[in-house]
Structure formats: structure tokens, C-alpha cells
Amino acid sequence: MYALRCDAVNQAVWDGLPAAASERLALALADACADPLGTTEPYGEDDGIMRTLVTGDILVVIYLGHQTKTLHIYQIDYLG
């Protein structure tokens, strides 16, 4: 299981999402923490570190710290 890391800027974006979108994001990130490579797609070249998570109207760019078992939110885009 990977630990989720989110800086203040991305937390503010997450907090500003509509309730339903925020819940979808939370559930998708929980799944990603359990299986980060299986629930995400490569971001550009598949290096196993930079990944994307798409939940319909939300695109999240994440990077994985495999040695530290951390999943860092790099960017959240709400398309709705």
C-alpha cells in the first residue's frame, strides 16, 4: 500500500471540486494507493514513475516513490 501525498495547492483544488467529483477522486486515489501501476496509465514515456489517473471528468498527474511507497499528486485538472 502506497501512502498518499498532496501539497497545499493540490489540496485546495481537491477541496474546490464538486462533492460528487471529490468523492470519485478519493475512491480512485484509494484504489491507486493499493495498486498504483494497475490503476493508472503512463504519463508520456512509461518510466513507472510519472502516471495519470483519469476518473471521467478529472485528470490527475501523479508520481510514484517506489522506494518510499508514496504516491504524490502532481496536478489535478477538473474538466467538468
Beta strand pairing status for 41-42 and 3-5? unpaired
Q: What would the pLDDT profile of 9-51 be if each residue is shown by its tens digit?
A: 999 999 999 999 999 999 999 999 999 999 999 999 999 899 9
Cβ pair 61, 29 in contact under 8 A? no
- The architecture in CATH of the region 3-78 reads 2-Layer Sandwich (3.30)
Task: Tell me the C-alpha to C-alpha distance, in Å, between residue 15 and each of 1, 55, 67, 79, 80.
Answer: 24, 16, 29, 15, 15
Distance CA(45)–CA(67), nearest Å, equals 20
Distance CA(78)–CA(48), nearest Å, equals 24
pTM exceeding 0.85: yes
As a whole-number percent, the residues of the chain with pLDDT over 90 amount to 94
Ordered by start, the domain boundaries in the chain are 3-78
